[in-house]
Each structure stands twice: as structure tokens, then as C-alpha cells.
A and B are shown apart, each in its own frame.
Chain A
Amino acid sequence: MVTVARETKEGKQSRSLTHKDEKCVGCGICTDLCPTSSIKLGPILPIARGLLKVDKININKENCVLCGLCASACPFEALEFDIDGVDIKERPEYPKWTDDAEIDEEKCIYCGRCEKACPTEAIYLSRSLPNVEELVRGETELDQEKCIQCGICEELCPAEAITMHRNDIDPSEPNVASSVELDKSKCVYCGVCKRACPVDAIKIVCTTCMEQEDIVTPEIEGCIVLNEDECINCGWCQEICPVDAAKVTKPFEGEIEYTEDFVCKGETCHACEDVCPCNAISIVDGKSVVNPLFCTLCGACAKACPQKGIIIKREKMNLENIRSKSWKRRLSGLTEENS
């Protein structure tokens, strides 16, 4: 965390700018916008590959005039700007991002797809499932006297419900196992063990069909949390959710294009893939492919591409309440063609 702080307006106001590197994706939007060119983008590819441990941006404290534009425009809330201790996000005169992500718990079926797909691990799921015992019914009987401890049932059991407790081979008590145990919480009464047992030591009766009326419909309870602090509104959860429970509004709207003479080096380079905070890029048939469904149009890939072949075409920026005309002009640079 790096902070630039100063008294301004003849000591009547204190302003501070703080960079939170853990939230920074290295997109370079702040570096493009800074009116005094006080922010430099760091080596984002070596950082993304874990080769260098430095901050993704570098703020020149001497040159920074503490205007707050960078903090207002950072889509990832990696820059925080305070005036007299109040974050400008809380001040009505400053712009507000309207990008957002939410998961509707009413609709969520706790399948966990979004949790696995989320590139920033911003989703937490906990769920409780009923015991198998409550859903299948039957009877088992294992005759330890008949059992010859061959272990065939243990090896075959598809539910891994059978365990043979093997012992050390002892000449005074010649045996290979002390007992065979069947775990009723795992058994589904399929009868494979019974049919395979060479000495007929196992009895299995499935009563699931007979007792169907008594068996409850499985109720899946859970809780899903989307941590806004870690979420970058990439759209993965929305796209992967099978029941439309996740809704994402991205920071920008637009598309990715490539320069006409772009020769993508694919697997040799894959810088774009490595720096993308959204896991939106993959190398397919030796070429970089951005899936627009997951892209936030942040532009980190364009910055990292050594061939300068990626063009971020932002058509709309979901930042509202831009009151200053000069800021509006400056910010409009983001929604024109940038490479």
C-alpha cells in the first residue's frame, strides 16, 4: 500500500491518495488518465508470472497534484482518494461507478459452479446435503464366521463402503484380517458384494423402492456470499450460473479487436493470458482468443502484448455523475479507441 498525502488549499484541506496493490490488476487506466503523468505502469507480466515482487503501478509523489481522477476512474477500487478523511466515493460531487455483481439467493441452487469459476475467488459457498442413509434403504448382513477375508467385496464395492481391517501375518494366529466392516452411511444396497462373495458371507436386501413413500425428497440448504471487495465484475458467475441467479453489470461495454497486421505469437508469448484478471483469455490454435463474456475491457492484455496487437474498443463506461467538464473530456479518452 502506497499513500500520497498533502495539505492543500493553504492548509485548509487534507487530501490523500492510496494505492492498494492487492486490488490493482495492472490495467493501466490510471496511467493513461493522470493529467500530470505521475503514474507509471509497472512490469505487469513479470509480476503476473510471479517473477518480480513489486507494485503494479508506481506513483510519483512529487508530481501528483492529488486531483483524484485516477481513483474515480479505477474500475477495481485499487486507488482510494480521501478529502479530509472522507473517501470521494462517499462524496456526492464525485463520479460513481454503477458496475455491480450480485447473486440472488432465492434463485441459487447451491450448485457451486460460480464458486469454482470465479477468477478472483470472490464467491463463498457452503451447503449441507442430506445423508445417503436417509435417501436409500436396505438391510445388510455380513457373516464374519463365513468370511475368508479375500477382500473381493472391498475392491468391488462401487460406493467404497466396505473396509477390511488387515492385520500383520502372525503364525500363532493365522489370519489376514481381523474383520470386514460395511459402512451403512455409504452403502447403496446394490448387491455387487453379495453376488461376488465366493463364500456367500454377505446378505444385501434393497428396500429403497418399497419404502419410497417414507423417503424424504433431498433438501439442499446452503449459503452463497459474493465478496464485493474481491469481485471485479467480470461476468463469469453470470455466464456459468444455470439458473440465472447471478447478475453482473460490467464497468465498460464494448469489444476487443486486433490490429490488421497483428502476428500473435500464441504459446510462445501468452502475456495477455497471464495478465488478464478475468481469466477471459486463452490461446486457441496458437492465437490469443478473448472471450467477451468474461472480459471487463480493462486493457491489461493490450498493455502486456509486446506486439501491440490488441485494441480495446470501449463504447460505454458505467461511470456516472461526472460533473467536471475537464474530467469528462479526459475520461472520454477511455471510450475511444485505445491500443
Chain B
Amino acid sequence: MSVIIDIEKCGKIKDCPGEGLCIKLCEQGALEEVEGEIVLHPEKCDDCDLCIQNCPNQAISKEG
């Protein structure tokens, strides 16, 4: 099971107080920056939930 990013809440990298904090925290490479956008690679996600817990905009959650 991977995470989902709420696009409404996510400030993208330019408006994120942590300037893409989720990308910096994820050591699995499951979150990546592509031209200012956050791109999720679900196959790399190990469900550690660090991104969920630390997202400054509370934009990340689990499916279901």
C-alpha cells in the first residue's frame, strides 16, 4: 500500500515550508521532484509513513 498526496493541500515544492520536505525525508526514492512537481513512485514506497507524519501541509495520507 502506498501513500496518496492531496494536491489541494500540497503546496508543491515552491510553496512547501520544507521546500519538498517529503522528498528530502524519503530515503527510498519513492518521492521525487520533477520540474517542481512531486512525483510518487509507489513501487519504491516501504510504508514507513515518515512523509505522512512530517508533511507541513498534512497533504499525505494512506489509501483506503
Contacts and interface: CB of A to CB of B under 8 A. Distances in A.
Interface of A: 43, 45-46, 49, 51-52, 265, 267-269, 271, 306-307
13 contacts: A43-B21, A45-B50, A46-B24, A49-B24, A49-B25, A51-B24, A51-B25, A52-B21, A265-B47, A269-B49, A269-B50, A306-B53, A307-B48
Interface in B24-60: 24-25, 27-28, 46-50, 52-54, 56
B11 interface: no
A268 B47 CA distance: 9
A271 B48 CA distance: 10
B56 to A, nearest CB: 7
Given A45-B50, A45-B54, A268 B28 contact: yes
B25 A45 contact: yes
A51 B21 contact: yes
Contacts, number: 42
In the A-B complex, list the 10 residue pairs whose CB atoms are closest, starting with the nearest: A306-B49, A265-B48, A269-B48, A306-B53, A268-B46, A268-B48, A51-B24, A306-B50, A269-B50, A43-B54
B49 A307 contact: yes
A126 to B, nearest CB: 40
A46 B18 contact: yes
Contact of A46 (B46, B48, B54): B54
A269 B54 CA distance: 12
Q: Is the interface of A mostly helix, strand, loop or mixed?
A: loop
Interface range for B = 10 to 19
Given A265-B46, A268-B28, A46 B21 contact: yes
Max chain A CB contacts within 10 Å: which of B18, B25, B52?
Answer: B25
B50 A271 contact: yes
B47 A43 contact: no
Contacts of A306: 48-50, 52-54
Given A45-B54, A49-B24, 15 more contacts: A43-B54, A45-B50, A45-B53, A46-B24, A51-B18, A51-B21, A52-B18, A52-B21, A265-B46, A269-B49, A269-B50, A306-B50, A306-B52, A306-B54, A307-B49
Nearest to B56: A43
A254 to B, nearest CB: 25
A267 B28 CA distance: 10
A268 B27 contact: yes
Contacts of A49: 24-25
B4 to A, nearest CB: 16
A268 B53 CA distance: 14
A308 B27 CA distance: 19
A267 B27 CA distance: 9
A49 B28 CA distance: 16
Nearest to A264: B48
Contacts of B47: 265
